[in-house]
Amino acid sequence: MRHPIFRPLNTRAASIFIRLVTCAALAIAVGCSDDGDDIVGETMTACDAEPVIMTTQAGVDFVRTPDSCFESLPDWPYEPQYVELDGLRQAYVDEGPADGQVVLLLHGQPSWSYLYRKMIPVLARAGLRVIAMDHLGMGRSDKPIDIASYSYLGHNDRLERFIEALELGDITLFAQDWGSLIGLRVAGLNPGWFARIAIGDGMLPVIPAGIQPYPPVENPDEIVNIEPLFGLMPAQQVPFYDGCEPIGEPDEGYFGDWMIYAMKAESFHASEVVEAMTWFDLPADEEAAYDAPFPSRIYMAGPRVFPSLVNELPGVTEQAWEALTSFAKPFVTIWASNDPGNLGQCSVQDNLICSIPGAEGQPHTRLPEASHFLQDDQGAEIGARLVDFIQSTTPTGGDYEPTCELPIAADGTGTPCTDDTDCSALVADTCISQSGSGGFCSVEGCNAGSCLETYVCCHDCNPFAAPLLPFDGSACFPPEATSLLSGRAGCTCD
């Protein structure tokens, strides 16, 4: 599984890499009961019963996973709470003292708040109020059955209104995967709500408006027998990195394939993804817990469509990202050391550390024996680090130093610039930048081997990413950026 990342060129040296990664409703209806006054239909009780399709007053058809599907889940004694937004329940657990500092935990795809089962007790015992929310279509939240009911901005809107409905403030955010793409945008646009932020294997990509990162999935409701994407991943992961350097040839997986698989594959289910992308082998009962929200395919529209929401990112995250580059409150990164996806790269972690002022001096780390779903692999350790992050006045325990400076080659490639005049005296006489936000000098029309050892020549973009090219021909880029592009939508690099 690969996570595409596009982000803008920034005046800070570490954020000038170009990468490929991994609807707002108007009315606010808040309630905490199961009655759902604007819902037509009744919920079922047996987990294997025929699904009952209900309808909101606005005409959105949805299903609700029966409570019986969540009985006796291992290490999950928590009672669900609900906030109703637009006739659809948003589920969450709320543990710890009601007057404690708030820690908001946001999961990604295709997991749910069960991912935080090892962190919640650590945080609650420390006197913190822990809120783990299920995104719409995930966990115990209601599940519209039409994929058109889900959107990136819709998830953002619901998170904002969820926070307002619970009257949360002084929040410590911990988010991962798609939880970070949603949570960081909300935090960037509403910085006053947040006291501090912690991110694990996530980020906020910025894609220019008008770009289509990947072809949309054709015939999205078609069910196809596709070979499982994760069948070759061992239950007990092998090391993928030596420090920040990949071991062996990098995976040439294409994110568009993941979009298709999640949307259409008959075999797609949550536990196969979590099992493949954790360091430790998951016991069968824990795998079943990740599948519990989805007793049949009609419940799976939310996780099916999530990867395709990358095509909704262009033009809607830049304002939030720019605000985050001024976020001076504490900001820490807690990364997995063995996440084979793009979000696991040191360079992605570096981008956050080097671009966000509040990250300076914080105890950043890369946890051993942890993969993409690091909360499952090292939840107790992450919980303890969050407690220290919140309660300590002197940050300690950091063991990761980011790389924030670009090397400058003999021809001037890598020299910071805001426009071409800053590069005019150099062989690398063109400034690679976006939206006037600064960048670095590079060489137009380079050839393989002409960029010296600190850079590589990148060119040959496919039609879907061609507008991202700074030149008609080619340019020299830092290896940290170009290694993410080779063999994926966008540039290929010599």
Q: How do residues 354-372 score in pLDDT, each as one tens digit? A: 999 999 999 999 999 999 9
Count the neighbouring beta carbons within 10 Å of the beta carbon of residue 320: 19
372 is catalytic: yes
Identify the DSSP state of 210.
Answer: T
Q: What is the mean pLDDT of residues 157-186?
A: 98
Angstrom distance (rounded) from CA 403 to CA 99? 39
Tokens 């990604």 correspond to 108
In the chain, what percentage of residues exceed pLDDT 70? 82
Q: Per mean pLDDT, which range of 87-96, 128-137, 480-489 is the poorest?
A: 480-489
Choose among 318, 349, 347: nearest CA to 332.
349
Mean pLDDT of the chain: 85
**Burial class for 340, CB neighbours closer than 10 Å (0-12, 13-18, 19+):** buried
Is 339 marked active-site?
yes
Q: Mean pLDDT, to the nearest integer, of 50-73?
A: 97
- pLDDT attached to residue 272: 96
Helices of type H across 14-126:
120-125
pTM of the model: 0.86
Cα–Cα distance, 228 to 124 (Å, whole number)? 38
Q: Which of 339, 376, 377, 422 is catalytic?
A: 339
Q: Which of 177, 201, 422, 429 is catalytic?
A: 177
Backbone angles phi, psi at 130, to 5 degrees: -105, 125
User: Can you tell me which residue has the tokens 């909704």?
Assistant: 312
On the question of a cis peptide bond just before residue 463, with omega within 30 degrees of 0, the verdict is: no
- Phi then psi for 226, rounded to 5 degrees? -110, 140
Contact indicator for 317, 158 with CB cutoff of 8 Å: no
Give Cβ neighbours of residue 299 (< 8 Å, ≥ 6 apart).
51, 63, 65, 143, 293
Tell me if residue 419 is catalytic: no
- pLDDT of 245 over the 70 cut: yes
Quickly state the pLDDT bin for 252 (edges 50, 70, 90).
low
Q: How confident is the model at residue 394 (pLDDT cuts 50, 70, 90)?
A: confident
For the chain, first and last CA: distance in Å? 24
Coil, helix or strand at residue 36? coil
Residue among 107, 135, 155, 372 flagged as catalytic: 372
The domain defined by 13-391 folds into Rossmann fold (3.40.50)
| CA gap 372, 376 in Å, rounded | 9
Higher pLDDT, 130 or 463: 130
Give start-end residues of each CATH 3.40.50.1820 domain in the chain. 13-391
Using an 8 Å Cβ cutoff, are 140 and 70 in contact? yes
Q: What is the DSSP letter of 35?
A: -
Strand partners, 88: 85
pLDDT at 46 over 50: yes
Spatial strand order of the sheet with 456-459 comes to 474-477, 456-459, 492-493
- The position carrying tokens 């993928």 is 240
